[in-house]
Amino acid sequence: MPISNPVRVLALLGGLVLTGCNNRQESGSLVDARRGFQSKLTAQPANKQPAPVPPANVFQAVRYDAPPGKLAAYLSPDPQDGKKHPAIVWIQGGDCNSIDEGCWKKGPPSNDQSASAFREAGVVMMFPSLRGGNDNPGRAEGFLGEVDDVLAAAEFLGKQPYVDPARIYLGGHSTGGTLVLLVAECSDRFRAVFSFGPADDVSGYPPQYTPFDRSNRKELRLRSPGRWLASIKSPTFVFEGKSKGNIDALEAMARASENPNAHFLPVPGADHFSVLAPTTTLLAQKILLDDGPTGTLTVAEDEVNKPFQR
């Protein structure tokens, strides 16, 4: 999300300060609960904008096959070194169905939402747009069908000749963090998942991010990751700064979860935005070292907290 765009900055801020819900854990799996469910969607804007053209030396514009059709994405170019590289699918905050200049324009260290630490370390990056975003086919569903689009993006990424399909990670921030947490609850496709500042209950998001019948409790329940923590199968790390942001949601999920695959790391001295740059730098280095046949990536609280200690 570009820092220079005040409309999207305000929109993202509108999705912050969410109180932790009563994270009653559902007895079944999220995949089973979603199977066959028909969401009742609300009216959506018709003036869609195509994804901006990225700098050729940073990203190439591509289209990947997903259930709604061919969706736009940005993808790191082939480094032409003959090697297979680790890769990460990253989901932006704010309108996480769309991609824009924020994917390559770095912000200050206190608010760098580009996650550029990964590509700068040599990790291949893919920023997928999702159904109904940009000029894509389909309609935005707000954390429902978008799960399938993220999995389709990973399928596309794993087929690139310069990507190691066994070393694909997933990450996202704010609304993107909420979505990747839901993906982790629906699939074990990713070697590890990194969720920054997610909500546990999407009822706290404004209507532009929840384009469905909000009076239907099942619509909300199937989109609220705090209820389905037991479904997580891949190592999943949830981060949030303890100053402002969605820290209440992180703490509520930490109390509710008994899943050893889910790790919750509150970061003293950081907020919803400043937690990103130092932590993604740490994770990028860990990804490079996680090069065995199976994943061994771990994250300790003291490692995450160190950059913020005074």
Q: Average pLDDT of each block of 10 consecutive residues along the chain (310 residues)? A: 34 45 84 97 85 97 98 98 98 97 96 97 98 96 98 98 98 98 98 98 95 96 98 98 94 97 97 98 98 97 93
Q: What is the pTM of this model?
A: 0.94
Q: Could you confirm whether domain 6-18+31-37+53-308 is CATH 3.40.50.1820?
A: yes
Coil, strand or helix at 284: helix
Residue 108 CA: distances (Å) to CA of 87, 112, 115, 158, 229: 24, 5, 12, 31, 33
Instruction: Give the H or E element holding residue 247.
Output: helix 247-256
Nearest-angstrom CA–CA distance, 26 and 45 = 34
**Phi and psi (nearest 5°) for 7?**
-65, -45
Residue 35 CA: distances (Å) to CA of 32, 91, 142, 234: 5, 24, 17, 21
Q: What does the pLDDT read at residue 4?
A: 33
Q: What does the pLDDT read at residue 16?
A: 54
Nearest-angstrom CA–CA distance, 192 and 171 = 9
* Eight-state DSSP code of residue 170: E
Residue of 2, 18, 4 whose CA lies nearest to 209: 18
